[in-house]
Structure 1
Amino acid sequence: MIVTTAGKNAERIYEKAKETAHILNSSFVERGRHSISSIIEKYNDNVLMIGVDKISYHPKDGSSPFFFHPNSSMFRVKQLLRGDKDPFIEAAKITAGMSLLDCTLGLGSDSIVASLAAGANGKVTGIESSKAISFVVQSGLKVWDSSLKDMNDAMRRIQVIHSDHYEFLKKEADNCFDVAYFDPMFESSIQSPGIQGLKGSADYRVITPEVIEEALRVASQRVVMKDSRNSSKFEELGFKVIQRNASFIYGVIEKNK
C-alpha cells in the first residue's frame, strides 16, 4: 500500500503522512502534482491519502475511494436516544457498563451503537483484519463530528485493533469480555454504494467452529452473530435464532445454559 498526501495543504500533513507510512509498514510517495490515479498506475498498488481532516483509501482496481462515515449508526443512535429499541442491542443485551468484543469491526456501525448503549463505564473493542480498513476507521472514530455529543463520545471510546480475530481470541483470558460479536455479512453489505472500494480489502473467511469455541471462552455472558436470513451457519455453529429482520437474522449462544 502507498501512502501519500492530499493535493491541498500537502506541507501541513507531510510529516503525518510519513509517520502513517511508517506505522503501517507502507511506502511513502510525495504527492507533488501527481493525481491519485497516476500514482496507482505507476506503482500498481492501493493508495492511502492523508488529508488535514480526512483519510481516504483508493483501491487500485478503480473502485470508488473509501473514507470513514458512521453510516446507519447515526440513525440508530438517534433512535436509542429517543428511547427506541435497536435489534442488535436487544440481541446482545448490552446495558450500561458492559464490555463487547466486535470480532468483525468492518465500518464500525454496530460498535458505535454498542458503545453508546454501554456508556462511559462500558468498553467496546473492535477487531479488524484489514490494515487499510482498521486504520481508516480508527482514524475516523477519533475525529468524526456527528453533531451529537453522545455519539461523538461513543465513537471516541471504541478501541480498534488490527488483528486476525481468531489469533486475538486465542491470546485473551477467559471471560474477559461480556459479549463477543460476529457479523460475517460484510461480504454482502459491502455492495452498498460508497463502500464498494473495500471489496479487495474485506475479510471474506467464514466463521468456523474453532473461532466460536474461543469466543465462548472469552465471553462471560454470550456470543452473538448476525447473518443473512437464509444462512445455515446458525444451526451449524450452535446459535439460537432470536431476532429476525427482512434481510438478516441475529443468533445467540448464551453461556451457562
Structure 2
Amino acid sequence: MCEVTTIVTTAGRPDDLSMALAAFACKQLNAPFEPRKKRSVRKISVSLQANVIVAGKNRFEYYAFGESEPFFFHPNSAAFRLKRVARGEAEPFLEATQLQEGDSVLDCTLGLAADAMLAAFTVGEHGKVVGLEANPNVAFIVAQGTQTYDTTELPLTACMRQIEVVQSEAVAYLKALPDNAFDVVYMDPMFEEVIEEANNFEALRSAGAHVALTEEWVQEAKRVAKKRVVLKAHFRSEWFEKYGFTRLARVTSKFHYGVLENL
C-alpha cells in the first residue's frame, strides 16, 4: 500500500491571494503544489492518494485522505467559554489547572486550541502557553489560524496570538525539556470513547493523531511540571486510577479532569 502524502491546492477559482497562500503552505509543509483544474478535492485526493491542504481566500482547510469533511480553525468553543469566564462563571479547565497570572503552560494535545486560549487569557501577557500537535498538517492549520484569524472580539484575539504552536509528538518534546520547565502540563488525548454531542470535533478526530496515555508520558510530564499535571479524559477512563491522578468528578459531564500535584 502506498504511503499517503500531502499536497497543496487552491480553491476552485483561485486568485492571486490563493496562489500566494498555496505557495506559503507548500514551503511550510515541504509539500508539492497540485493545480486545481476544476477538480473536486475528493477527486484530487483519490487520484494522488494524498491528504489535501486547500488554500482558500479566507482560510486553509485540511482534507485527510478518505475524509469528505475538512478540518479548519475556528475559535467558537473558546469564544463562548471566555465569555462565561468574563461573567465570573465556573470553568472546569481553569478549576483543574489552577492557573495564575504569569504561569507557563504546556498543552500536550493542542487540537483546536480552545483550552490553550483559556490558559492564555488566565496567565496574561507575562505568562507563556505552548501547544503541541503531532500531525504536521493539523499543526499548520492551527498555527495559521491562531495567528491570522480575523476577529474583533477581545480578549479572544490576544489569546490566540499568544499561543506558540509546536509540531511535535508530546513525549519526544517533553524528553527534550529540563526539569520544572513549565508550571502546568496539560494532556487531553483523543477520547477512548466518542462523545456524540461533540460532533464539531469529528473533523479533528479524523485528521489528528490518535494517541493513548502511557506511563512514560505521565512520568515525563511530572518531571517537567513545576506545579501540576492535568489530564482530561472520558468519565469511564481507567487512566485516572491507573496513573494516580486525583479525579475531579463532574456529575453532569461525560469527561472528567484529573490532577497530579507536584507541590
Q: Tell me the equivalent position of 1:205.
A: 211
Give the letter for the 1:251 counterpart.
Answer: G
Q: Tell me the equivalent position of 1:224.
A: 230
Give the letter for the 2:58 counterpart.
Answer: D
Answer yes or no: is the 8 Å Cα contact 1:63–1:196 preserved in 2.
no
Give the letter for the 1:99 counterpart.
Answer: S
Question: Structure 1 residues 37-46 or 220-229, which shifts more?
Answer: 37-46
Which of 93, 101, 107 does residue 96 from structure 1 map onto?
Answer: 101
CA distance in 2, matches of 1:160, 1:147: 22
Aligned residues: 256
Relative distance call for 1:190 and 1:114 in structure 2 (3 A) is farther
Give the letter for the 1:253 counterpart.
Answer: L
CA distance in 2, matches of 1:25, 1:19: 10
Answer yes or no: is the 8 Å Cα contact 2:190–2:210 preserved in 1.
no
Which of 27, 33, 36 does residue 28 from structure 1 map onto?
Answer: 33
User: Is 1:255 matched up with 2:262?
Assistant: yes
Q: Tell me the equivalent position of 2:247.
A: 241
What SS does the corresponding residue of 2:207 show, helix, strand or coil? Answer: coil
Answer yes or no: is the 8 Å Cα contact 1:66–1:194 preserved in 2.
no
Q: 5+ unaligned residues in a row in structure 2: which ranges?
A: 1-5
Q: Tell me the equivalent position of 2:3.
A: none
Q: Deviations over 1:107-151 (max 9, x none)?
A: 111111111111111111000101111111111111223431211
Relative distance call for 1:151 and 1:186 in structure 2 (3 A) is farther
What SS does the corresponding residue of 2:189 show, helix, strand or coil? Answer: coil
User: Is 1:19 matched up with 2:24?
Assistant: yes
Shift of 1:33: 2.5
Question: Structure 1 residues 48-57 or 149-158, which shifts more?
Answer: 48-57
Shift of 1:191: 7.8
1:80-159 correspondence runs (5 A)? 80-159=85-164
Give the letter for the 2:229 counterpart.
Answer: V
Answer yes or no: is the 8 Å Cα contact 2:190–2:211 preserved in 1.
no
Shift of 1:103: 0.4
Question: Structure 1 residues 57-66 or 124-133, which shifts more?
Answer: 57-66
Answer yes or no: is the 8 Å Cα contact 1:64–1:194 preserved in 2.
no
Answer yes or no: is the 8 Å Cα contact 2:231–2:257 preserved in 1.
yes
Give the letter for the 2:255 counterpart.
Answer: F
CA distance in 1, matches of 2:26, 2:261: 42
User: Is 1:39 matched up with 2:44?
Assistant: yes
Shift of 1:58: 1.6
What SS does the corresponding residue of 2:50 show, helix, strand or coil? Answer: coil
Relative distance call for 1:191 and 1:247 in structure 2 (3 A) is closer
What SS does the corresponding residue of 1:28 show, helix, strand or coil? Answer: coil
Relative distance call for 1:8 and 1:161 in structure 2 (3 A) is same
Q: 5+ unaligned residues in a row in structure 1: which ranges?
A: none
Relative distance call for 1:61 and 1:227 in structure 2 (3 A) is same
TM-score normalised by the chain length of structure 2: 0.91
Shift of 1:190: 8.8
Q: Deviations over 1:11-67 (max 9, x none)?
A: 223233123113212221122322222211221211100123211112331331121
Q: Tell me the equivalent position of 2:187.
A: 182
Relative distance call for 1:89 and 1:236 in structure 2 (3 A) is same
Answer yes or no: is the 8 Å Cα contact 1:63–1:197 preserved in 2.
no
CA distance in 2, matches of 1:48, 1:127: 20
Relative distance call for 1:189 and 1:100 in structure 2 (3 A) is farther
CA distance in 2, matches of 1:55, 1:28: 14
User: Is 1:75 matched up with 2:80?
Assistant: yes
CA distance in 1, matches of 2:89, 2:50: 45
Relative distance call for 1:156 and 1:227 in structure 2 (3 A) is same
Answer yes or no: is the 8 Å Cα contact 2:26–2:32 preserved in 1.
yes
How well do the aligned residues superpose, as a CA RMSD in angstroms?
1.8
Relative distance call for 1:243 and 1:91 in structure 2 (3 A) is farther
Give the letter for the 1:238 counterpart.
Answer: G
Shift of 1:194: 4.2
Answer yes or no: is the 8 Å Cα contact 2:135–2:167 preserved in 1.
yes
